[in-house]
Amino acid sequence: MRFATYEYRNRRQVAVVEEDGMLHPLPGARSLTGLLADLSGLPELLDAGAAVLDAPPGPHVCEVRLLPPLQPPTVRDFVTFEEHVEGVRRSVDGATGVPEQWYAAPAFYFTNPYAVYGPHDDIPVPPGSSVLDFELEVAAVIGKEGRDLTPEQARDHIVGYTVFNDWSARDLQSAEMKVGLGPCKGKDTATTLGPYLVTADELEPYRGTDGFLRLALTAGINGEVVGKDLLSNMSWTFEEMAAYASRGTVVRPGDVLGSGTCGNGGCLAELWGVRGRQDPPPLKPGDLVTLTVEGIGSVSNTVVAGPAPVPVPAARIRPRERP
């Protein structure tokens, strides 16, 4: 089953999406995040969706503005593709290979839940950046609360999946990570989610015996394919990622877990690292980036000019007085 959040005639609604694109609104539901919090996981969400399918449909998806499927309370972005780490490290840090620590556990960082864009929204260039990049990922969405989960338990806590574009200002990222923190403003201004939340049961036919989802991933700029990979090239499953995310803390309904960027052209920086030059060039206003994930759908965003950065002074060198 597929769920969409959309705006139609100045109203925000949540609906089940039929194969032909017709929308069946869920009465009283204005937020998929809120709906997930009121339910207890995937079975109840499927029941809620099935209950509206016999009612007359609402508008078609082509008549509405699709919003992000949900507004997540937290967004953890993992880095689970070895090929991506190898290429981007060479491009951003000038280093070769993969850090040994990467193999120990599925590392992630928290990105900005207030900067989530819909599947067809314009994406402004981050203030002060001239090296904008896309990143093709898939996100798992948590459907019920859990703590210290095992990977086996985590399977029941993942309610569905959506396409995830982690927009990245590579020049800002490269500079600020020299401090040993981050990424900060390099990843802070835009994340695309969409077009729908596809429930976990829909993707079970793609699951291999090793637990990985074999989904084809494609990235294109202005109609030209620049990257293709398989989601099954991840080094950890989503269940293992969810278990790690819940270690010593909680995951809650609506939390988003990004797979990390796929390899073989899942972002420009990886290609720059492999080729030793910025080919293709960084994204610029007017560029259309389309990311497609088999079984889930496509998001297509146009880059537009962003605001100038608000000036902030450099650090003052202080005398280090003591009380």
List, for residues 284-300, the tens digit of each pLDDT value.
999 999 999 999 999 99
Please report the DSSP string for 114-175 in residue order: T-EE-TT--EEPPTT-S-EE-BEEEEEEE-S-EES--HHHHGGGEEEEEEEEE-EEHHHHHH
pLDDT at 96: 83
pLDDT at 47: 97
- Are 270 and 87 within 8 A, CB to CB? yes
Give the distance from CA 139 to its chain's centroid.
5
| The model's pTM | 0.97
pLDDT at 94 over 80: no
Length of the chain, please? 323
Give the distance from CA 31 to its chain's centroid.
18
| pLDDT tens-digit series, residues 96-114 | 889 999 999 999 999 999 9
- Domains, the chain: 2-66 (no CATH), 75-304 (3.90.850.10)
Token digits for 111?
A: 């990105």
Distance CA 306, CA 316 (A): 29
Beta carbons within 10 angstroms of residue 93's beta carbon: 14
Please report the DSSP string for 89-128 in residue order: IIIII---S--GGGGGS--EEEE-TT-EE-TT--EEPPTT
| pLDDT tens-digit series, residues 191-246 | 999 999 999 999 999 999 999 999 999 999 999 999 999 999 999 999 999 999 99
pLDDT at 89 over 90: no
Report which of 118, 110, 31, 33 is spatially closest to residue 74, judged by C-alpha positions. 110
pLDDT band with cut points at 50, 70 and 90 for residue 90: confident
- Are 33 and 72 within 8 A, CB to CB? yes
Distance CA 176, CA 188 (A): 12
| pLDDT tens-digit series, residues 2-25 | 999 999 999 999 999 999 999 999
Alpha-helix residue ranges (DSSP H) falling in the chain: 32-38, 42-50, 82-88, 151-154, 170-176, 238-245, 268-275
